[in-house]
Structure formats: C-alpha cells, structure tokens
C-alpha cells in the first residue's frame, strides 16, 4: 500500500511571517528636484550596479515579508518611471508629488485608501539604495509592540560644530543623545496620516515623518541601523553607494 504522504503534493515553502501582525504598506517619495545633487538626470534615476537608485529602494520594500503593496510618489514631469521594469511597476501604484517631502508623503498615504488605520506604513527614501535586509527586519521587530512606531537611525559619533555665518565654527554641540535619522521610518497608517495632515495644514514642513509624529507630542523609537544605508545627496555619495552595494552583495 502506498503511503499517504507520497500522494500528498509538495507545498511551496511558506513565506516568513512579518514581525508585525497587521498589513504593511510602503511609500517612497521620489518627486524632489534634487537641487543639491544637480545634473540632467533626476537623482532617483541615477544608476549603480545596473539599476536606478529608485529601483534598488523599491526592491528592498518589495522583499519585506508581509508587504501588501505600496506607492511611489513621482514628479508631474517624470518621464522615466515608465522605463522601470514592468514587473516592478505592476506591483505598486503612483501618486503625484509636490515640492516638499511632507506633501508628497501625504499624497502617497492618501493613495493607500485600502489601508486600515492600524496597518503599518514604511516610508523610505528613493535615494537610499543600500538598505540591508537585516536593518529592515530589526526595525519591524523593534516596533512590533510599540504604540508609536520608529525609525532607523545612527548615533552621532563625530564632533558637531555650529556656525553662525556658514563658514566659521561658533561653538561645539554636545553629541550625547544625538542621532542621524535614516529611513525606512515605520508608523501606523492612521497616526501618520493624521500627523502629516496636521503638519501640512498648519504650515509646518517636517523634513521626515518622525518630525511630524513628534509634532503630535509623541516619541518615535530609535532603532540603530547601518552606515551602509547611505543617502545619496551629493555626487560623492554615489561612489560610496556603489561600494556599499558591493559589500551587501558579498555578504548575502
């Protein structure tokens, strides 16, 4: 008699469960004009390791276990999004962005009309192409039971100077307790929508989502990330991102 198990079709391996229990969505703001970088190619579409910065960032979000979908916020004059691989573009939607980050992320959140207030939203910079998967996993695990949410960040290790005229050091700033914010930043959908709506309606221009949350009197969790999670801001950063990409590939 043939064993019962031999007639049972093999099942595909189960996808690892997410460290958070609700659905996870993501928003990638990619509508900026890249004024500090310059050049004819918008920063999200600069290429390293054969892919644009935006594509690297998007793939990192789509690799996240438990991700239900996401939005890429693009500039109205963007003609390059349609050139990204169709297999990637089919998995996300787009929303129009504005000149400031807060308005762009808010536009992306409003495009996630299917999200529930208790769902989580990851907001990740299009110009961070080297997010280690382990950093994202650490963020999700740390925020699992946190009522506010949190962000990846790095403790400041260098001496910090303040300048009154932009050229000369006027004083040294104590670095104790100072952190450099990174992305992704992870918050509940309903909370982040409320925080950014309040900021935009009130004329407050937060430079990241954590600042909008802090504006509500809440304290986001700081989760130590990696120095490989580079933000490409100036031309020299592109070479650093290329090197970080190679290191991540070698480590995988």
CATH label of the domain that carries residue 224? 3.90.550.10
Which one has a higher pLDDT value, 251 or 209? 209
- Domain assignment of residue 97, yes or no: yes
Look up residue 129 and give its two tokens: 């192409």
Q: Which tens digit of pLDDT belongs to each residue from 119-161?
A: 999 999 999 999 999 999 999 999 998 999 999 999 999 999 9
Judge residue 177's burial from the number of C-beta atoms within 10 Å of its C-beta, 0-12 exposed, 13-18 middle, 19 or more buried. Answer: exposed
Which residues lie closer than 8 Å to 111 by C-beta, 6 or more apart?
A: 71, 93, 94, 95
Does a structural domain hold residue 9? no
Q: Is residue 5 part of a domain?
A: no
Is 222 buried (19+), middle (13-18) or exposed (0-12) by CB count in 10 A?
A: middle
Is 44 in contact with 53 (CB distance < 8 Å)? yes
232 belongs to a structural domain: yes
Domain span at residue 27?
A: 17-158+174-251
The domain total for the chain is 1
Q: What is the mean pLDDT of the chain?
A: 90
Report the Cα 140 to chain-centroid distance in Å.
13
The answer to whether residue 165 is domain-embedded is no
Q: What is the pTM of this model?
A: 0.89
Q: Are 66 and 164 in contact (CB under 8 A)?
A: no
Per-residue pLDDT of 227-237, as tens digits, reads 999 999 999 99
- Does the residue 169 lie in any domain? no
Query: Is residue 168 included in any domain, yes or no?
Result: no
Q: What are phi and psi of 173, to 5 degrees?
A: -105, 130
Strand residues in 9-111 grouped as ranges (E): 24-30, 47-48, 51-52, 67-74, 93-96
Considering the domain boundaries, does residue 89 fall inside one? yes
Structure-token match 């609700």, residue found: 22
């Amino acid at each position: 008699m043939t064993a019962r198990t031999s007639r049972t079709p093999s099942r595909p391996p189960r996808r690892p469960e997410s460290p958070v229990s609700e659905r996870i969505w993501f928003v990638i703001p990619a509508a900026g004009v890249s004024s500090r970088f310059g050049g004819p190619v918008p920063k999200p579409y600069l290429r390293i390791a054969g892919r644009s910065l935006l594509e690297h960032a998007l793939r990192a979000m789509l690799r996240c276990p438990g991700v239900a979908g996401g939005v890429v916020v693009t500039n109205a004059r963007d003609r390059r999004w349609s050139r990204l691989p169709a297999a990637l573009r089919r998995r996300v939607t787009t929303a129009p962005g504005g000149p400031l980050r807060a308005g762009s992320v808010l536009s992306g959140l409003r495009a996630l009309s299917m999200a529930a207030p208790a769902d989580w939203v990851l907001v990740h910079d299009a110009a961070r192409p080297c997010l280690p998967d382990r950093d994202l996993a650490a963020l999700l695990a740390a925020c699992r039971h946190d009522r506010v949410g949190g962000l990846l960040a790095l403790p400041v290790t260098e001496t910090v100077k303040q300048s009154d005229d932009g050229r000369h050091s006027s004083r040294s700033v104590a670095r104790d307790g100072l952190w450099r914010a990174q992305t992704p930043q992870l918050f509940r959908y309903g909370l982040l929508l409320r925080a950014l709506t309040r900021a935009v309606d009130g004329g407050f221009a937060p430079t990241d989502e954590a600042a909008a949350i802090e504006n509500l009197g809440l304290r986001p969790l700081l989760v130590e990330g990696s120095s490989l999670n580079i933000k490409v801001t100036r031309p020299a950063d592109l070479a650093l991102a290329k090197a970080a990409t190679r290191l991540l590939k070698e480590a995988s």
